[in-house]
Amino acid sequence: RQGSELSGWAMGRWTYEGIDLNHNFADLNTALWDAEDNDLVPHEFPNHYIPIPEYYTFANATVAPETRAVIDWMQRYPFVLSANLHGGELVVTYPFDMTRTYWKAQELTPTADDGVFRWLATVYATSNLAMASEERRLCHYDDFTRYGNIINGANWHTVPGSMNDFSYLHTNCFEITVELSCDKFPHASELPGEWENNRESLLLYMEQVHRGIKGVVRDGDTEQGIANAIISVDGINHDIRT
């Protein structure tokens, strides 16, 4: 990262190459929603593991090497739960981060797994000492305490090409964003306090991987496990894979 955000709110979000990593992942949302509008999902267009568009893979595409490295990492390891940590607010956001109505800056845009995402965000927010404090003051002008310190990302501000949306649509991974401090640049002396604020919430969040249904999909004849078997749940238009 370059620069200090103390000199301007947007400074520091950009890499040396001038790329904002927070908006740098492939936009898979638009392709999914266009296919849904044309009744192509899921028989002709997938509702999960959506392929990366060809333009995004070109050498001259505006994709940071850091972004490409993270995508390669995601594709190598079958992560199922993730969180990315930001600063500047006290709130937990969950997908979708991009508004479905492309010209709207804010719009409630839930995923097919909205209940799970709201649960994950709530687990973190209710156990975070700074968010849960009765003496808590607003960071800026948004009063997130009215919503339990969680919000649908797109309902706060639209972020096309976010890692959360990409994780959900390209892999099995459910990812949230934790805005864990009003101060983007806490002094070193404040870091032990920040750790205490987040320690229990990080542990409780990780424990959520044990919720839900677990098992192995096997071949009925050989009893061997089947890789990339698609698992569908009635009423949830988002499949996952073994």
Mapped onto helix, strand or coil, the DSSP state of residue 153 is helix
Catalytic (active site) residue 196: no
In this structure, what DSSP letter does residue 51 have? P
CA–CA distance from 90 to each of 12, 129, 137, 234 (Å)? Answer: 19, 11, 10, 35
Active-site annotation holder among 89, 107, 175, 179: 179
**Beta strands in 95-194, from DSSP E residues, in sequence order:** 150-152, 174-181
CA proximity to 181, closest of 83, 84, 85, 82: 85
Phi-psi region of 100 (alpha: psi -120 to 50; beta: other; left: phi over 0): alpha
CA proximity to 71, closest of 161, 173, 167, 174: 167
Q: 166 and 51 in contact (C-beta within 8 Å)?
A: no
Phi-psi region of 170 (alpha: psi -120 to 50; beta: other; left: phi over 0): alpha
- Active site positions, annotated: 179
